[in-house]
């Protein structure tokens, strides 16, 4: 059995390959959305009660930086700011239908790019990879797709 550090190096190398595949899928999307803005959209999509302070905290930036990102997204029609009906002093961030389409399209592009790579792998290796990724996710304390099917992830 290989040492954990050797496996960690192999995982790191694989992650770099994975990031490259996902980044090519992102760059192929038109209009291309910068990674920081895409992260904002992803955070807002994951929590319908996101306000500016929660967003800044999730991004680990000061509120003014989060606000500038939102300014750009609002200018491109991907984000809206609305008064929170529970507390009018709060501003809630909402995705527009264009942003939802963009995220769906990006998810589909990424999955297609990943499937293209996975199809080049032998079936047994894909099955081993799936089991290894599920075990890694469990060891890292992340819920599996079976526990949270709304995440959109599926297992074979």
Domain 4-142 fold is: Arc Repressor Mutant, subunit A (1.10.10)
Q: The whole model's pTM is what?
A: 0.77
Q: What is the pLDDT of residue 151?
A: 42
Task: Give me the residue spans of the domains in the chain.
Answer: 4-142
Positions of the chain with pLDDT under 50: 148-156
Q: What is the pLDDT of residue 42?
A: 95
Q: What is the pLDDT of residue 144?
A: 63
Handedness of CA 60, 74, 49, 108 (dihedral sign): negative
Per DSSP, what are the bridge partners of residue 87? 84
Q: What is the pLDDT of residue 3?
A: 86
Q: What is the pLDDT of residue 150?
A: 42
Contact 82, 47 (CB under 8 A): no
Residue with tokens 């959305």: 33
Per DSSP, what are the bridge partners of residue 94? 80
Residue with tokens 């939802």: 100
Contact 63, 90 (CB under 8 A): no
């Amino acid at each position: 059995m290989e040492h954990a550090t050797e496996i960690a190096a192999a995982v790191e190398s694989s992650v770099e390959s994975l990031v490259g595949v996902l980044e090519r899928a992102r760059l192929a999307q038109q209009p291309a959305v910068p990674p920081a803005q895409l992260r904002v959209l992803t955070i807002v999509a994951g929590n319908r009660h996101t306000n500016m302070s929660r967003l800044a905290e999730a991004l680990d930036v000061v509120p003014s930086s989060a606000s500038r990102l939102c300014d750009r997204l609002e200018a491109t029609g991907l984000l809206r700011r609305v008064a929170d009906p529970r507390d009018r002093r709060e501003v809630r961030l909402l995705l527009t239908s264009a942003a939802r389409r963009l995220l769906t399209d990006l998810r589909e592009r990424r999955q297609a790019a990943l499937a293209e790579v996975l199809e080049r792998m032998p079936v047994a290796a894909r099955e081993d990879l799936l089991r290894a990724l599920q075990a890694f996710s469990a060891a890292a304390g992340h819920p599996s797709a079976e526990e949270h099917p709304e995440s959109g992830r599926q297992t074979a």
